[in-house]
């Protein structure tokens, strides 16, 4: 016997995502139910929760993986147009920014592990290699971070002139360089090592300290400072 598709309006009131969130709180909703609220209305044959489940499958039933998808990827789900895909993409980006900015003004760099965890949260959804800087004050407290270069799958280019221009504009006493390796390999390339040495030498002219260069991937992190390379 074929399973019937009931619209959400015909569900018990406590099972409807919006009513459930209102009465119990967002924490009691599944990932699919939360996405269903973003979708709003389903199609003639599939309700919003069913569409949301299809989207979760597209993201391997993992919000971290879902956050890596582009608008066009989300639109591959039948019944999801550009407006709904953009809404979902925007919500995922808000979640990512919330996670990475909660304690930004409270972070005092005491170890490579601490700053690497922070950087991983910033770069977790990037599919391409990116290069950035963390700016710190005299107390080694994070003031700001900025991605300054976005490259391809295997590399990016960082211009030392841009790095120091931004460091001076931020009144940074010290900086931490960072980039990701989408391939998962954490070992620095010869280009990574040469660039780090070049920037560290130039930093002396501006009385700016290079505390570390952190490479992150899903496998973990690599610290130039911990390895005596800076």
DSSP assignment of 147-178: EEEE--SS-----HHHHHHHHHHTT-SEEEEE
95-143 residue pLDDT tens: 877 766 655 556 677 889 988 988 888 887 777 889 999 999 888 888 8
CA distance 118 to 103: 9
Report pLDDT for 139: 86
Are 186 and 219 within 8 A, CB to CB? Answer: yes
Report pLDDT for 2: 39
Question: Which residues are CB-contacts of 189 (< 8 A; sequence separation ≥ 6)?
Answer: none
49-64 residue pLDDT tens: 999 999 999 999 988 8
Q: Quick one: DSSP state of residue 2?
A: P
Report pLDDT for 1: 33
Report pLDDT for 7: 64
Three-state DSSP string of 35-63 = HHHHHCCCCCCCCHHHHHHHHHHHCCCCH
Report pLDDT for 100: 63
Report pLDDT for 4: 47
CA distance 197 to 190: 11
Q: Is 126 helix (H, G, I), strand (E, B) or coil?
A: coil
Report pLDDT for 9: 67
**For the chain, which residues score pLDDT lower than 50?**
1-4
Half-sphere exposure of residue 43: CA atoms within 13 angstroms, side-chain side = 11
Q: Quick one: DSSP state of residue 142?
A: E
């Amino acid at each position: 016997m074929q399973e019937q598709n009931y619209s959400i309006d015909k569900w018990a009131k406590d099972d409807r995502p919006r009513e459930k969130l209102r009465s119990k709180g967002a924490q009691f909703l599944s990932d699919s139910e939360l996405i269903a609220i973003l979708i709003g209305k389903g199609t003639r044959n599939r309700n919003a929760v069913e569409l949301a489940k299809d989207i979760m499958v597209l993201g391997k039933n993992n919000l971290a993986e879902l956050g890596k998808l582009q608008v066009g990827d989300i639109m591959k789900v039948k019944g999801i147009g550009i407006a709904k895909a953009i809404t979902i993409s925007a919500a995922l980006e808000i979640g990512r920014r919330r996670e990475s900015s909660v304690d930004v003004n409270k972070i005092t760099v005491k170890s490579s592990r601490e700053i690497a965890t922070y950087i991983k949260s910033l770069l977790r959804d990037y599919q391409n290699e990116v290069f950035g800087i963390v700016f710190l004050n005299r107390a080694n407290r994070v003031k700001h971070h900025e991605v300054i270069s976005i490259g391809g799958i295997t590399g990016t280019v960082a211009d030392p002139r841009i790095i120091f221009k931004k460091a001076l504009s931020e009144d940074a006493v010290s900086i931490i360089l960072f980039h990701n390796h989408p391939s998962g390999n954490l070992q620095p390339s010869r280009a990574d090592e040469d660039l780090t040495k070049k920037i560290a030498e130039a930093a002396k002219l501006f009385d700016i300290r290079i505390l570390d260069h952190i490479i992150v991937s899903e496998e973990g992190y690599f610290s130039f400072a911990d390895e005596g390379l800076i």
